[in-house]
Structure 1
């Protein structure tokens, strides 16, 4: 390590200390504090439920895909229609909705059926013997319980909005956190290494900063991909301008339903880029001939077509819904069908003619659609063991950042003081207003709900907290 002039070192330290005490630095610290105050409970919940879903999904599986069945030597697979008939007999009075191809030779076929009252069940069938292995109500497991919390806190639209605000404010927290961390003396090497020689609050701060810097890029990616499924920023802004254009399907009839009609809350099963795209409709001569003319269009012929089209790994076949419904073959990484998002594919088939009405692959998505096709399964830890390990690190890091933030705040409180928030204080002349206004304008344009929350917080800070002595003391 090179030597330095003591006077130069002293000057650098003085400049760094001055920067840390600057009004803008204190303002960034205050906004980092306020954003953290709101998002800590939400980020902690998301991290815990995210871990739960990843490990259940990777080791226990979803929709019974990892159930094991005995396989006799030279066993022959029954036709899908035979397996489907046995699945329907297990739930009398039901009708078929979807077939999930077995993951491997030792796993069952899984069928989704729907009763007259609308209740849906899953039925696992031994593809060699036709024996029903197991039945269970759809979306009733621990994975789905965690998913319900992770998606909208099990509060519907209200929970979705809260999580969207929290995600937007988390981005504000990341930006302000990186600004606070930025080394003012140019010593970037030391900035990336925690100082383990300290103790107390200084050690907590060093670890909080160190982990926060390393995890910030991944957390930002998780937040963006998660927000893309939300009700305002996701569906009204991002999906609205980046959805797959149905105009690419030349001269085929379209249904009044969109692909989102194939989803069943809380978990989606349709690619993000297709959710708002209208579904094709059966009942015309449109499309490309695929199933031989005159041959019956059944689940067996559709499954054979899927093989001819090159579907690999697990895929699923959705049965037509209504007179104009279509058969749909879908392989989607975010549904844990495969580990390669570039292999994602959706094919729609006319239920009467067997013609392929639409064939959408990864390459057909918009740039945002491609980013989501990769980002969503990455977010869910579905792209292999490396993805699970990395996401585990991110989730545990988020939990540590939340806990360490609370610990540092508690240690910063003066002893035997009244109950106060002890937010970082900013000079009374508030020279940070313009900077804060500009930052909020940018956030408001990019993330409307988060921007609205920031405007409300700023208004409270300026118009209420700063004017009432008791509140000013409590929030100081």
Structure 2
């Protein structure tokens, strides 16, 4: 484990770090495998049928597609008394358009042939395999409890990476030796082989894994929403978030809602809808990270710049035409106002699989009465962390093109390989006699001490990532206070 020239205190530190690495790994590896497998499932679904069956193909029959309003009316017939929530424009000339329609008891995504207005597929919103994998990836299908488990997994993974670096550096003493296995003799022994694969492969992907943990936790319920995201909102003061009464004639062209009638609800002082609450469908994240908690603008204000001409009505056809005129090409999202204060929203971002480049993110809000553009948000408007998240999520989700899909597949397989090799190392290290049973962690019966630097690492991780505090305290109590006091636990865990 270490040479005879090592100081006893150094050995004690090594054994302590090793045990923490072991306890963290043996409990969180199953969750890392779940994260990797669910990520592979999302990669498969998003690049085959699409997140909402938007990659289903059709045969182009003319150079001109049927008006969006005609397609929408067909989609609305799939549910009784339904309203139109969203239109997703075709990705290519040979792919379907998708409409989200909602009735009192049902919410569906309807794929429509844009050339014939025939329904190609009709499924409940968030009802396909992509969304199942997404929910497993996000909260293990357990809601808030699962979200906290996954956030804790990511926090402890960061601790595992740091302790893993120390352990492998302690053995190899150089970066090159950490990255390139060169001990052919030890590679012929099973446990040494798996240890070398585990550590070398871990060294190669550790930086990317660290990045994935941080970018993934930025979506989580505590560190993301409560700590980081709440301080990274887009400055909503750039538009009017409280309605300024203006005279609106319902009979005028710009009061038209096309398929949707205005609902008798006005956002009051105690109701501040955010981008996430209005534009996200269920648990699926469709709004850029930096905008999710930012309040939505409101129709009926005196704000805004010239947008859709006052001489024409506002409906899905004219809004779609305007979207094309201002530069939205290919697949984009059009969210329809759902009440009298709602706005038309045009959006296009890599996180929603609209295009590859996160720097092309764009969100436009249009007043449903005046037709004015209330705000036109682009990547350059994001703050520094918002830009990091836009780019980070594109890497995290593999939306940068085929190369990033392949890279993510290899990364997920590597994570699975590291977890499995860790378990194999543990199994092969178990004594062959029946006298020793239980978990059999490393450094059994060996004197150990906690190095100051390691205590500082634990403190920093606990402060930055709150869910890690409980896990770190639990490991400490398990290894240093509880196990040492109960002979049964010593037999099983020591």
TM range (shorter): over 0.9
1:397 is aligned to 414
Aligned-pair distance for 1:144? 1.5
- Partner residue of 1:95 out of 51, 59, 83: 83
| Range 236-245 or range 431-440, more displaced | 431-440
Tell me the distance in 1 between the aligned counterparts of 2:95 and 2:178: 50
1:283-329 CA deviation, whole Å, 9 max, x = no partner?
12310111112321111121122112212331010000111000000
In the TM superposition, 1:289-328 aligns within 5 A as: 289-328=306-345
In the TM superposition, 1:228-307 aligns within 5 A as: 228-249=218-239, 253=243, 256-261=272-277, 262-307=279-324
Whether contact under 8 Å (2:16, 2:449) holds in the other structure is no
In structure 2, stretches of 5+ residues that fail to align are 245-266
1:336 is aligned to 353
- Partner residue of 2:151 out of 144, 164, 167: 164
2:263 is aligned to none
Confirm or deny that 1:138 pairs with 2:125: yes
| Range 63-72 or range 323-332, more displaced | 63-72
Confirm or deny that 1:468 pairs with 2:457: no
- Partner residue of 2:423 out of 382, 400, 406: 406
- Partner residue of 2:18 out of 22, 29, 39: 29
Tell me the distance in 2 between the aligned counterparts of 1:127 and 1:251: 36
SS for the counterpart of 1:339 is coil
Stretches (4+) displaced over 3 A: 12-15, 17-21, 183-188, 250-255, 426-430, 433-437
In structure 1, stretches of 5+ residues that fail to align are 1-11
- Partner residue of 1:177 out of 164, 175, 188: 164
Structure 1 residues 68 and 37: alpha-carbon distance in aligned structure 2, compared to 1, 3 A threshold: same
Whether contact under 8 Å (1:251, 1:286) holds in the other structure is no
Whether contact under 8 Å (2:239, 2:303) holds in the other structure is no
1:6 is aligned to none
1:58 is aligned to 47
Tell me the distance in 1 between the aligned counterparts of 2:241 and 2:389: 28
Whether contact under 8 Å (1:90, 1:132) holds in the other structure is no
Tell me the distance in 2 between the aligned counterparts of 1:41 and 1:440: 22
Q: TM-score, normalised by structure 2?
A: 0.89
Structure 1 residues 272 and 78: alpha-carbon distance in aligned structure 2, compared to 1, 3 A threshold: same
Q: TM-score, normalised by structure 1?
A: 0.92
Aligned-pair distance for 1:24? 1.2
Aligned-pair distance for 1:451? 2.0
Aligned-pair distance for 1:405? 0.5
Tell me the distance in 1 between the aligned counterparts of 2:168 and 2:127: 44
SS for the counterpart of 1:337 is coil
Whether contact under 8 Å (2:9, 2:449) holds in the other structure is no
In the alignment of these two chains, the number of paired residues is: 462
Whether contact under 8 Å (1:347, 1:356) holds in the other structure is yes
Confirm or deny that 1:221 pairs with 2:211: yes
Instruction: Give RMSD over aligned pairs.
Output: 2.1
Aligned-pair distance for 1:51? 0.5
Tell me the distance in 2 between the aligned counterparts of 1:39 and 1:449: 14
SS for the counterpart of 2:365 is strand
